[in-house]
Amino acid sequence: MDKLKKYEKIVNEVILGVSEKISDIDSILSIDKVHGQYLILMDSWEGIERNYGPLVHIEIKPDSKIWLRLDGTDLEIGQELLNKGVSKKDLVLAFHSPQMRKYTQFAMG
């Protein structure tokens, strides 16, 4: 299996697992494999206040780099990706600025 297909399988497993773990939160799972976008959006109400927006966003680029754009959970999604076989050199912690990424062991982008 080529790396891109392997990573698509891993990211799909991780995002589905996260979605199951947060089932107590009203959320929307959105997977667009054509464009490499994997998202979980919050959509809930607290009284008259609406809580709507991204909770998790992972993107797989055509070069097989995985961009963890947002992890708004305490589930350590980056570590989960590593545990399932994603290489640090292929994982971009996109929630860090490009200037800060050079101080990590992960891909720059």
Q: Residue 30 — pLDDT band, cuts 50, 70, 90?
A: very high
Residues 6+ apart with CB under 8 A from 26: 42, 43, 44
What are the tens digits of pLDDT across the range 78-92? Answer: 999 999 999 999 999
Dist. CA 21–CA 36, nearest whole Å = 22
Query: What are the sequence ranges of the domains in the chain?
Result: 3-101
Q: So what CATH class is 3-101?
A: alpha beta
pTM here is: 0.93
Dist. CA 68–CA 80, nearest whole Å = 12
Mean pLDDT on 57-76: 97
Pairing of strands 66-71, 91-93: parallel
Query: What confidence score (pLDDT) does residue 85 get?
Result: 98
